[in-house]
Amino acid sequence: MANEKPDDKVKRRKRGGLLRGTVNVALLGAIAAGVILVALAIHKRSAEAQAAQQSALVTRAVPVSVARPAAESGYDLTRSFTGLVAARRSVDLGFDQAGRVMAVHADLGDRVAQGEVVAELDRDRLLARQAELTASIAEARAALALAEGDLGRAVRLTASGATAAVTRDQAQSARDRAAARLASAEAALANVAIDLDLAALRAPFEATVVARLAEPGAVVSPGTPILRLLDAVSLEVQVGLPLTEARRLSVGQTVMLRLRQAQVAGTVRTVVPEIAGGTRTATVIVALPPGAEVTEGETVDLVITNRVDAEGYWVPTAALMPGVRGLWALRTVVVDPQSGDGTVADAAVSILHAADGRAFVRGTLDADTPVIIDGAHRVAPGQTVSIQPTSEGEGL
């Protein structure tokens, strides 16, 4: 090797590089071939699995319960509107004259009858004034009697010519003044009698005392509230309705009210012909039935049911599945008349109304198509199913 020429060394190195390149290419080719074989094997297994799955879907008939939807021409739409219980009458009761409160006979929560005395003013001044006017009347009557006697004598003397006519006229004027003083005293006495009567504050209607605003000993001016009364007998419900709903109601119509999970019948008393500015609703006043156990300020729902005309079908909400483009889907069954089994298909529907676990729908569905009502999520379109004999033909 010591005598090896430089050209021989170069040639030997080239032959070694070529050999190594050939080995590398062969190795890469083997790896690529292995990858291809593995991919082909995976694809084959996937295809076999899909084929087996499709075969299972076709061959295995899953039992399902179906029903045939009944065509309907519409549905009942029930809505509720919340209102408040209010007394038909309420008043802040007070005296129409000034004075000192002598007694308040009603307390908070008491029921009072119409005309019952609930409070009184001190009457001492009025009684003294009454006695004074009684004496004035007696004096005025005596003065009138004297004036009438003088007038009679003056008339006779004037008729006989013993006195001038002016004497008769003066006597007539004196008599008229005495009569006027008597009438004034009698009117003043009548006014005192009215004040004495009004010193006793009476309930204007049968009511419940909801506030006591003054106590005995307080000096009050005319109109100062003493008691607040609420008509607990004639309670009513005030509820705001959209104008379209309010126009459907008429005075005297019976409507349903929901009160603490119970329903009671009410009667429309009036529909206020005015739109509330804040809510844009019309106020409807409904009279409650006698004996209704409600409290002023309590909330009550007015339940209104209207018929909506629309073609469609009632289906259980459990049978509905999310569809595409905002629609819903019903799993239906296309029945094979020979085997009696069926193939699952989807019918696209839209929901018009839902209530009590049912939905009113319309779409690519007719009354002759069985709808899967139980276990629709367990099957897929194209799958073979067997219809349970007890469910076939039943309506929804």
Helix, coil or strand: residue 217 = coil
Residues with Cβ within 8 Å of 121's Cβ and at least 6 positions away in sequence, in order, are 95, 97, 99, 100, 101, 102, 199, 200, 201
pLDDT for 42 = 61
User: Which residue(s) pair with 284 in the sheet?
Assistant: 239, 271
Nearest 5 degrees, angle CA 63-CA 395-CA 75?
A: 130
User: Which residue(s) pair with 267 in the sheet?
Assistant: 254, 287
Distance between CA atoms of residues 237 and 81, nearest Å: 11
| Residue scoring higher pLDDT (32 or 244) | 244
pLDDT for 93 = 94
Same CATH topology for 60-74+309-387 and 83-87+233-307: the answer is: no
| Residue scoring higher pLDDT (276 or 40) | 276
Sign of the dihedral through C-alpha 241, 245, 248, 254? negative
**What is the overall mean pLDDT for the chain?**
83
Distance between CA atoms of residues 286 and 255, nearest Å: 8
Distance between CA atoms of residues 87 and 66, nearest Å: 55
Phi/psi of residue 56, nearest 5 degrees? -65, -40
Helix, coil or strand: residue 233 = coil
Distance between CA atoms of residues 194 and 310, nearest Å: 70
Burial 246-257 (b: 16+ CB within 10 A, else e): beebeeeeebbb
Domain spans, the chain: 1-59, 60-74+309-387, 83-87+233-307, 89-110+206-232, 123-198
CA 343 to the chain's CA centroid: 48
- The stretches of the chain forming alpha helices (DSSP H) are 6-59, 124-160, 165-198, 243-246
User: Dihedral, CA atoms, 53, 54, 55, 59, nearest 10 degrees?
Assistant: 100
Confidence of residue 31 (pLDDT cuts 50, 70, 90): low
Helix, coil or strand: residue 270 = strand
Q: What is the third-level CATH fold of 83-87+233-307?
A: Elongation Factor Tu (Ef-tu); domain 3 (2.40.30)
pLDDT for 57 = 47
Q: What integer is the mean pLDDT of 168-180?
A: 88
- CB distance 66 to 341 below 8 Å: no
Distance between CA atoms of residues 301 and 304, nearest Å: 9
Largest separation between any pair of C-alpha atoms in the chain: 203
* Global pTM value: 0.58
| Residue scoring higher pLDDT (238 or 278) | 238
| Residue scoring higher pLDDT (128 or 395) | 128
- CB distance 69 to 358 below 8 Å: no
Nearest 5 degrees, angle CA 12-CA 18-CA 22?
A: 145
Residues with Cβ within 8 Å of 102's Cβ and at least 6 positions away in sequence, in order, are 120, 121, 122, 123, 216
Q: How long a stretch of residues is the chain?
A: 396
In the chain, what percentage of residues exceed pLDDT 90?
A: 44
Q: What integer is the mean pLDDT of 272-284?
A: 86
Distance between CA atoms of residues 34 and 32, nearest Å: 5
DSSP state of 250: -
Place of tokens 């099957």: 379
Q: What is the pLDDT of residues 297-355, one digit of tens each?
A: 899 999 999 999 999 999 998 889 898 888 999 999 988 887 777 889 999 999 999 98
- CB distance 124 to 150 below 8 Å: no
Domain 123-198, architecture per CATH = Orthogonal Bundle (1.10)
* Domain 60-74+309-387 in this protein, CATH class: mainly beta
Q: What integer is the mean pLDDT of 197-217?
A: 93
Q: What is the pLDDT of residues 217-250, one digit of tens each?
A: 999 999 999 999 988 778 899 999 999 899 999 9
Tell me which of 41-50, 75-84, 130-139, 349-358 is least confident: 41-50
Element (H, E) at 279: none
| Residue scoring higher pLDDT (32 or 312) | 312
pLDDT for 151 = 83
DSSP state of 308: E
Q: What is the DSSP string of 45-57?
A: HHHHHHHHHHHHH
Q: Which of 217, 239, 175, 199 is nearest to 95 (CA)?
A: 199
Question: Does the pLDDT of residue 253 top 90, yes or no?
Answer: yes
